[in-house]
Every structure is written in C-alpha cells, then in structure tokens.
Structure 1
Amino acid sequence: MAVELNHTIVMARDKKASADFTATILGMEVGPQYGPFLPVQTDNGVTLDFMDAGDGPITPQHYAFLVSEEEFDAIFARIREAGITYYADPGHRQEGRINRNDGGRGLYFEDPDRHNLEIITRPYGSGG
C-alpha cells in the first residue's frame, strides 16, 4: 500500500461555522458528525476533520488545495462575493492579487480561525 494522507484535524472555535465556511467556499459538503469531528472530504479522499478547540489557543495552519482552472474561477468568485480578503502570497503582503506561479494561478485567504487556505491550479515546481 502506498502512503497517503487520509485525514487531518482542523482546530476551530466553532467547528460547524469553520466546516461550513470551508465547504461553501471550496464547493464541497460537510459530512455527518463523527465523534467530536465534522468532516469535509476533498475529491482525492483526504478529510479535514473540524474539531472544537475549547478554550485553548488555536495555532493557525496552512492548507493548500489543488484545483482545476474552472474550480479556481468558481472558488475565486465565491471569495469575492463573500468579501473575503485574498492575497497572492502566504505572508499576506500582496492583498487583492493572485499569483501566477508555475504557469498557473493561486491565492491565499483566511478561514474564521485564521488558518491560511490556499488554492492553486498547478503544483509548485511543476514548471510553466
């Protein structure tokens, strides 16, 4: 069996709000609750398991999603429609811009818990 990422836990102040936000913006669905988790599964089978953090701190993480050009357009439209600030870079210095790395398109935006979400149309290092 090949090694594959199966799931990761995404800590949230409000797991329902965070799962709904991510699923809505990316055009996915929130699955039924499983134990303390609200899952959002990507098309390649990786599940983001949203879990309430309680009173503890949340360390922002980075989650990157490889999408098609058509999916990028649809996600980008939802980001703009929702008035979400987006950036061309992970350090959030190039506000309101997208990048063209490796001949594709990409951008970064934050979820309600300040996790840094990224959509790209080409994997980094793929040329272009």
Structure 2
Amino acid sequence: MANSDNAGTSGLSVLVVESDSAARVILLDHLRRRGLKVLESEHGGPSIRAAYDHPFDYVVTDIDWSGVSDGAALARWIRTNRPEARVILTSKTLAHWVPADSTIAGLPIIRKPFRQKELDRLLAPVRVMAIPGS
C-alpha cells in the first residue's frame, strides 16, 4: 500500500487498486494531474485495510484479481462500509461481454484498456452550489 500524493488540489481522494503495475502507474499519473489525492494498492487485503482506515471519495478497482480477495469483494465491502464512496470497476477479462456504459450491481464498469476521458466522465464530481441568502 502506498500513498502516492500528499494532498490533492481538488480536495478529493481516490483509492486505486490495480494489479498491473504499468497500468497502475499511468492511472496514478492521470489522477494526480487531475488534482486527486491518491492511495494505491496492488490487490487484496491491503486495499480493504486502506478503505477501512481512510475515507475515500472514489475507489477505482480492477475486478480481475487472483488470490484471496478480489475486486468484487472490495466493491461489496465499500458499498456496505463506506457507502459515500463512489466505486468504479475496471476489467480486461470482461471486455468482450460488457457493453460500453454498463454497470455491475449498479456500479459503473470500464472495459480495459480504457481512454482517460471515460474515467474522467465517471470521476466528475458533483458540484454543490450555495443557495443564495443561506
């Protein structure tokens, strides 16, 4: 588990769980350039521990892990224990079966490899505007 950034300029944070180190580096670089505070994990238990220890605005997780835990288990844990976090799933193995703009259990899924603008669309923060006179 590694903290990739001290503080994001946007004030938003993201946990990135990606087992492919090259893909993770590209993804982390893109998210940092967007001003997000980033924490990364390769897979498994460390990502669930990080999600337990830190409140994240977003979790971007590959669901194609191997081993003890998987991205789907992490997504279920996040939905139960950190429902305020927005979970975005990624997958290479489901790429042939998942149409664009699909969801799995109500969570958006992006087929890998994906364009950064696809991820940006899902990361677009909800803007809260002050009510005049409040």
Give the TM-score category using the shorter length.
Answer: under 0.3
Q: Which has the higher helix share?
A: 2
TM-score for the superposition, normalised by structure 2: 0.26
